[in-house]
Amino acid sequence: MLSYAEKIREIAGRLLSSGAVDMVIGFRQGTVPMMNEPHFAKTPAEVGKLVWDSHCGINLANYLTDRKEKIGIVAKGCDSRNIVTHVIENKIKREQLVVIGVPCKGMADKRRIAMKCPGEITEVIETETAITAAGNGFSQTFDKRDVLQHNCSLCIHRNPAIHDELVAELVEEQQGVDRYADVRSLEAMTPEQRWKYFEDLLAPCVRCYACRNACPLCYCPTCFVDESRPQWVGKGQDPSDVRTFHFLRAYHCAGRCTDCGACERSCPVGINMRVFTKKLEKDCLDLFGWEAGLSLDVRPPLDVYRPNDPNDFIK
Amino acid sequence: MKIIQIDKGQWVSGLNQAAAAYRLFGPVKEKEFHSFKPLTNGLQPDLSCLNTRLSPKSIIYPQSEVMFDYSLDERREDHHQLMEIAKDYSPKAVVGIRPCDAKAFVMVRLNFDTPDYQDPYWLRAYESTTFIGLGCEAPCSACFCTSAGCGPYHEEGLDVLLADAGDRYLAKVMTEKGAAFMAAAGWKTAADGQADATLAGMRQAAEAKITSFVPTDNLRSLPNNDLYNATFWEDVSFACINCGACTYSCPTCWCFDIQDETRGTSGVRLKNWDSCMYPLFTLHGTGHNPRGTKLHRVRQRFMHKLKYFVDKYDRGIQCVGCGRCVRLCPVNIDIRRVALMMNGFAASGEACAIES
């Protein structure tokens, strides 16, 4: 994926020079190891800052909401699926966009790498297949496949669902992935066990809303947790309010979530709130054969009524 | 001011002894990161912790704190009256707090303890707390404390500063509160005459390990409006998702919101952390929001920390350089980079272009 950066700059430069787009949204080099910053270029002279490596995990579709410009956007598989969802939900028009597709091999999980290292990581070097993290007195090399974000290791849509440009040949999709082992283990729990699991999971939450705000699906002008007239949810740290936020946020993502992992990646206290959205993702697959964001031409299952919709859950 | 030496063999027993007179708090590792926890049931502070993921501000200033309770039941004599609730302000001690986090409390005090207003909750909690700091031997790469009027062995806000000298701690006792804690722990062996020089050497060595520097020298003289109207805010704010990771992890962010929560006929009045990153923070009753876009909000955070505070208090930036916001921002917005842009603004081509 390391050669992608050059190609991204070339495409971005071309699109900006020709006036095909007003801005290109991608990533620029981060200021700390294993972090890049979402960034835009508005002139061909600015495209030199655009980069690509295994630390571009933030979902850039989040930066399209309600924009009016013509935009070139760098999109991994998951970003492209959220772009599709954005178009379907009228948050951006397809004709405003030039999708610069990135066949993706997965993003690195910086926490996983940090936990495997004995000290603070001050430098990270990446090759096509390996990531070397170094710090004071240590240097450790990891096979990229061993340090992927959890969602990336389960991903079966690495190639962009839609694209107008492509920065490289499509990559082979992962086969035979067991995507829902974690959900099945939750489903197998008794309600008491599950409740305890959720309590432990959410205990460190400080309600900074990074998970919600990093998510391209969460674009409501005022989120239900922020509503004050009427106020639906308490704003303190009462566990019932914290849970209400997480559960409802997840339900709002039903049939829309692409498991891009931006929520988990963004959490400052390391909560895997993806277990909630993954359960809903699995239900949508089981009940409707649905995976979000793969086509501009099909309405999402929770958008439409079909006489043969499964309704066994209504008792 | 004297220096006591604590043999490491006496550390745990001393803490246990102090626990009879103080509620102790310290850095404890849970799952993947450290946070400050009450040291109960034999829990020991993990002094190998570089620093806690979130700042210890919640010990003095809980994220959500009940101030009053009330009843709306008109059969009760005290209905519709805010009743102060009982709180525990017995002595507590924070053991192993880093100098940056201790200094942060001194800065936050500027807001909660003014000639006109005193926040009784914050003040009582602060005054009942003794801060036993631990000098930083291995500052993180995102730490820039020496640029923020602080440092790895900075003493402001601490009652005792510990330095790890191998088989013992050197404890510089700076206040009466600190002396009382040392007495309660039974640590009283005066360090030898070399201790001062040893401490100075450790301080110097630690300061030399700071690799990140932020220029702040021009901030005070720069015109407010020019900075406010600078065109770089679009670049700075683009990536921001307006979450509260920066403000909630920041030891110097002090903003709060007041909420009443009523259930049936009884309720409580709460003081909750708030964040200038949230749209609701400045939403008026009319529906108008003077900081209606994320550019407004991001600009406010940096202008407050790096300009308004500097102008108002004349004691540097509202930041201790702990680096938490740098490490925790999900989209890598880096206050060091923003400070560089703001501080360099006068000399930038942008300013020239505006003038011409």
**Mutate which: B243, B270, B275, B340, vs A, most A CBs within 10 A:** B243
| Partner-chain residue, chosen from B245, B259, B279, that has the shortest CB–CB distance to A235 | B259
| Partner-chain residue, chosen from B31, B238, B279, that has the shortest CB–CB distance to A38 | B238
- B105 CB-contact burial (10 Å; exposed 0-12 / middle 13-18 / buried 19+): buried
What's the average pLDDT block by block, 10 residues per block, for chain B (356 residues)? 93 96 96 93 92 96 97 96 95 98 98 96 98 95 95 97 96 98 97 93 96 95 94 96 97 96 95 95 92 96 98 96 97 97 74 42
Mean predicted lDDT score pLDDT of chain A: 96
The model carries a pTM of 0.95
Distance between CA B332 and CA B330 in Å, rounded? 6
Reported as a single tens digit per residue, the pLDDT across B128-137 is 999 999 999 9
Say yes or no: B213 contacts chain A, CB-CB below 8 A. Answer: no
Half-sphere exposure of A274 (CA within 13 A, CB side): 24
Contacts of B328 in chain A (CB under 8 A): 268
Residue B219, both tokens: 């901030």
Reported as a single tens digit per residue, the pLDDT across A182-230 is 999 999 999 999 999 999 999 999 999 999 999 999 999 899 999 888 8
| Partner-chain residue, chosen from B64, B140, B243, that has the shortest CB–CB distance to A209 | B243
- pLDDT at residue B352 in the model: 44
Residue A153, both tokens: 């290791």
pLDDT band of A231, cuts 50, 70, 90: confident
ipTM of the complex: 0.96
Contacts of A226 in chain B (CB under 8 A): 278-280
Contacts of B270 in chain A (CB under 8 A): 235-236
Residue B116, both tokens: 């006109």
Decide: B173 and B190 in contact? Cβ < 8 Å. Answer: no
Question: Are A268 and B138 in contact (CB < 8 Å)?
Answer: no
Question: Are B141 and A207 in contact (CB < 8 Å)?
Answer: no
| pLDDT above 90 (res A312) | no
State whether residue B270 is helix, strand or coil. strand
Per the DSSP assignment, residues forming a β-bridge with A74 are: A100
Residue B252, both tokens: 């110097």
- Any alpha helices (H) in chain A, and if so which ranges? 4-18, 77-88, 110-116, 150-153, 181-187, 191-202, 210-214, 239-252, 262-266, 274-288
Decide: B139 and B209 in contact? Cβ < 8 Å. Answer: yes
- With residue B178 as reference, give the H or E element that holds it: helix B176-185
Residues A310, A154, A278, A297: is their CA dihedral positive or negative?
A: negative
Say yes or no: B327 contacts chain A, CB-CB below 8 A. Answer: yes
Decide: B318 and B252 in contact? Cβ < 8 Å. Answer: yes
Say yes or no: B336 contacts chain A, CB-CB below 8 A. Answer: yes
**Helical axes A274-288 vs A239-252, angle rounded to 10°:** 40
- pLDDT at residue B356 in the model: 35
Nearest to B318 by CA among B340, B335, B294, B337: B335
Say yes or no: A120 contacts chain B, CB-CB below 8 A. Answer: yes
Give every CB contact of residue A92 below 8 A, 6+ residues apart in sequence.
Answer: A64, A65, A66, A67, A71, A83, A86
